Chains A and B, each alone.
Chain A
Amino acid sequence: MFKKKLLLVLAILLVEIIAFAYGENNTYKKTIENYTKSQSTNYNWNPFISQEIQNLRNRLNYSSLKASDKKSIQIQIDQYNYDLQNNISPLGTTAAKFTGTIMEQSVIMLLPLLIIIFAGDSVSGEFSARTIKVLLTRAVPRWKILLSKFIAIIITSAIVVIETAFISLIVSKITFRSWGLMEPLATGFKVVGGKIDASNIIEIYQWQYLLLVYSLGFFIAIVIASISFTISILVKNTAASISIMMAALIGGSILQAFIDDWPFAKYFFSVNLRLPQYLTGSFKAVDGMNLTFSMTVLLVWAIVALIVGFYTFYKQDVLV
């Protein structure tokens, strides 16, 4: 059962990552092709980035642009400028960069979904198969049984995150040839008064960045696992528990659109999943939202969820 699910997750990851790698490679080639055609010179990223900065500047002049979008674009421009000055290539793709992007993109939807596959039926599955009775009639306190189930979910989450990194690295190495693990990268952006503050910026290697992003991915996996685990305890029904979590995730994406006008929305967990994007400064800036804020919100959700889950499980009468 567990092995089957792990294989399923492996297959999903493989398909998605290969598709993503193909797409990324395609876009990259087309970009260079277009550039070469129109400029009748060989591709050189320096002027290309300058062009990109110009495009972004033009977009800033649209009157229909929202305040938060404006901020994001300004930040992106600042980052490109910084990249130019320090000779850091923002366009060329390497295995390391691709692997980082995969996790940056997965944290809002794909990774949580994969975690939900495991956490969503962890307890409710025992109820629907009625095996919960044999588990809870051992000479073992209930909290220990629940804790071991939770630890199993955490280990599984770690496996999923590592699996994602591993498959991405292999697939992208084959597609893009170079590893790029030692490539320098800028991080530590801060937003002060809506402007990017590069005073605290530090240069790290890609592999360090990968470690950072995948650690954040693991953190998100644990938070999602905790919430999904508790919902599975509360509803005792696998289909319902998975649906509720998916609704929450999709709802989070929708809420994101209203976040400017409805500040309360930023306390919802699925709005705070874009943690890796804080590292590169490529996020939609909203007042008061930063890495610390989002991590705190997620942590509080996870802890409250676990307390509710353990309390409910400990107190409830098993009537299946």
Chain B
Amino acid sequence: MKKEVLLVDNVHKKIKNREIIKGISFSIKEGDVLGFLGPNGSGKSTTLRMIVGLSKPTEGEIKICGHSIVKDYVKAMENVGCIIEGPDLYNYMTGWDNLEMLAAMNKNITKDDIMKAAEIVGMEKHLKEKVGTYSLGMKQRLGLAQALMNKPKLLILDEPTNGLDPSGINEFRNLIKKLAKEENIAILISSHLMSEIELICDNVSIIKNGTILKNAVVEELLNTQEIFWILDDNKKGQEILKDTYGINSKINDGKLETAIDKSKISDINTSFIREGLKLEFVDNKHKTLEDLFLDITEE
């Protein structure tokens, strides 16, 4: 049984009498990567801020490794590494000075830990330069090093790939997977980039207007049961489906579409051919997370 690292339970947040978060719940287990998706202004960032204690929930509970972030802040935060809305570090200090100063505020972070974190993100060669001279990508890496040096059990990353180039994004993706699988870290990533979440995350939570619309496993979400055929006579195909299998289908854009169990496909194909239909194409209807996201959030 995997341990639960983060629990968000029925959390509400009111700012100036406007309810921004209307009771959201989700959890992350160790080694899992949860993608947090939502349009701008949906409450994503507010939720992340509440998880790391930058702001307090008006109602509900947030627990990290069993410690309440409100009542037991220090114990809860000992398990957390985070970047909230961009890697804002001290521009007039060198990379190393930044890391060392922040490390000094936690207990038990050795120079080795700092160096290791810098190596993981590939910043060890730039530590003597001032952060003000870094590119956005380098700042992101240093921000990540800062989040990793206390060996967290929960890593919270808000828009982590902003400013990274394609090879940087790829490296980042591999790094996140490695951290989750090898170090068993629970990771929460918020992003607008659906393709990114699709590739990195095991689970997604889709949030809009302060409510969670869907908590789901990415694979199940994408693995729809929808199939389509392209036949020389779609109308006839539709009749066959109805008469022989009792399946309702629709014709859309020259495609015969329906939702069935995959195991039946070869059987149906044989029937089509037996009835003299020409089978031009058959495939799973591919859905991307982006389609799903748009479907869900626009409802």
Contact = CB atoms under 8 A, between A and B. Distances in A.
B82 interface: yes
Contacts of B55: 317-319
Contact of A131 (B52, B89, B105, B150): B89
Contacts of A133: 54, 84-85, 88
Given A133-B88, A319-B49, A141 B73 contact: yes
Contact of B54 (A1, A129, A317): A317
B190 to A, nearest CB: 15
B88 A129 contact: yes
A131 B77 CA distance: 17
Interface string A154-194: 00000000000000000000000000000000000000000
A137 B15 contact: no
A131 B105 CA distance: 14
B49 A317 contact: yes
A199 to B, nearest CB: 56
B90 A131 contact: yes
B80 interface: yes
Interface residues of B, number: 28
Name the prevailing secondary structure of the B interface residues: loop
Interface string B82-108: 101110111110000000001001110
B23 interface: no
A247 interface: no
Nearest to A316: B55
Contacts, number: 59
Interface in A128-156: 129-131, 133-141, 145
A131 B150 CA distance: 18
Contacts of B146: 134
Contacts of B53: 136-137
Interface string A45-58: 00000000000000
Contacts of A318: 49, 54-55
Contacts of B106: 138-140
Interface residues of A, number: 17
B105 A129 contact: no
B226 interface: no
A130 to B, nearest CB: 4
B230 to A, nearest CB: 53
Contacts of B78: 139
A137 B52 contact: yes
A134 B88 CA distance: 7
Interface in B141-186: 146, 150
B105 A140 contact: yes
B56 interface: yes
Contact of A317 (B56, B77, B90): B56
A134 B53 CA distance: 12
A166 B52 CA distance: 46
Contact of B88 (A130, A138, A319): A130
Contacts of A131: 88-90
A7 B44 CA distance: 44
Contacts of B77: 137-140
Given A1-B92, A130-B86, A131-B89, A137 B80 contact: yes
Contacts of A319: 49, 54-55
A139 B80 CA distance: 8
Given A137-B54, A139-B106, A140-B74, A129 B84 contact: no
Interface of A: 1, 129-131, 133-141, 145, 317-319
Given A134-B146, A138-B102, 16 more contacts: A131-B88, A131-B89, A136-B53, A136-B54, A137-B52, A138-B106, A139-B75, A139-B107, A139-B150, A140-B77, A141-B73, A141-B74, A317-B54, A317-B55, A318-B55, A319-B55
